[in-house]
Chain A
Amino acid sequence: MDEVVVEYIRRTVLKIPRDEIMAVLQKWGFLSEAQLQTINFRQTKESISHSVAQLCEESSANIKQAALLDIIYNHIYPNKRAWSVYHMNKTGEETDFFDFRDFKKKFRRQIQSALINVTINFREYEDNAIWIRIAWGTPYTKPNQYKTSYVVYHSQTPYVFISASTLRSNLPLLCQAMVVASNYYNIREMELRSHCLNSLKDIVFKRYSQNFQTNYPLQERNVLTENEDLRINDENRSEKERIHRLNQECFGDGPQPKLDFAQYKLETMFKSDPKWDVLEKKEPFRCLVKFSSPHLLESLKSLAPAGLADAPLSPLLTCIPQKARNYFKIREKKSLHPGSFVSP
Chain B
Amino acid sequence: MLGVFIAAEKQKGLAVDVDGELGVRVAMSGLPELRGSEQDPAAVLVQLFLRSSLSPKSSEEKLIWSGWFCCVAGDDLLEDLPENFTCLPLFLVNGAESYTAIVGSWFQKTFDCCFRRLAISPLNLTWMAAMWTGCKVDKNTAATELLFSVPHLPQPLDISYAIHPEDAKALWDTVQKTPGEITQEEVDVFMECLYSHFHRHFKIHLSATKLVKVSTGIASAHCDGIIKFLQSQYLIGVLMLLTELAISQIQ
Contact = CB atoms under 8 A, between A and B. Distances in A.
B192 interface: yes
A317 B153 CA distance: 17
B203 A287 contact: no
A98 to B, nearest CB: 38
B163 interface: yes
A278 interface: yes
Given A278-B175, A293-B156, A294-B156, A271 B150 contact: no
A287 B163 contact: yes
B157 interface: yes
Given A278-B189, A303-B153, A310 B164 contact: no
B92 interface: no
B234 interface: no
Given A273-B196, A308-B150, A317-B202, A278 B159 contact: no
Nearest to B158: A292
B80 to A, nearest CB: 41
Contact of A299 (B155, B198, B205): B155
A318 B155 CA distance: 17
A327 B196 CA distance: 22
Given A270-B171, A292-B157, A316-B202, A276 B162 contact: no
Interface residues of B, number: 34
Nearest to A281: B170
Contact of B161 (A272, A287, A314): A287
B183 interface: no
Nearest to B154: A302
B126 to A, nearest CB: 16
A295 interface: yes
Contacts of B197: 270-272, 285, 287
A289 B161 contact: yes
Interface in A292-344: 292-296, 298-300, 302-303, 306-310, 312-314, 316-317, 330
B209 interface: yes
Given A270-B171, A281-B170, A299-B156, A313 B203 contact: yes
Contacts of A271: 197, 200
B11 interface: no
> Interface on chain B toward A: helix, strand, loop, or mixed SS?
mixed
Nearest to B194: A287
A199 to B, nearest CB: 13
B204 A303 contact: yes
B153 A302 contact: yes
A315 to B, nearest CB: 9
A308 B205 contact: yes
A288 B201 contact: no
Contacts of A308: 150, 204-205, 208-209
Contacts of A290: 159-160, 162
Counting contact residues on chain A (CB < 8 A from B), the size range is 35 or more
Interface in B145-203: 150, 152-164, 167, 170-171, 174-175, 189, 192-193, 196-198, 200-203
B162 A287 contact: yes
Interface in A5-50: none
B202 A298 contact: no
A221 interface: no
B44 interface: no
A115 interface: no
A272 B196 contact: yes
Contacts of B174: 277-280
A296 B143 CA distance: 24
A28 B202 CA distance: 48
Nearest to A302: B153
Given A279-B174, A291-B159, A299 B153 contact: yes
28 contacts: A264-B201, A270-B167, A270-B171, A272-B196, A272-B197, A273-B196, A276-B189, A276-B192, A279-B170, A279-B174, A279-B175, A280-B174, A281-B167, A285-B164, A285-B167, A286-B167, A288-B143, A289-B198, A290-B162, A291-B159, A292-B158, A296-B155, A296-B157, A303-B150, A303-B153, A308-B209, A309-B203, A314-B203
Interface of B: 143, 150, 152-164, 167, 170-171, 174-175, 189, 192-193, 196-198, 200-205, 208-209
Given A298-B154, A302-B154, A330-B201, 17 more contacts: A276-B192, A277-B174, A278-B171, A278-B189, A279-B193, A281-B170, A285-B197, A287-B163, A289-B159, A289-B201, A291-B159, A306-B152, A306-B153, A308-B209, A309-B203, A314-B202, A314-B204
Closest 4 CB pairs of A and B: A286-B164, A299-B155, A310-B203, A295-B155
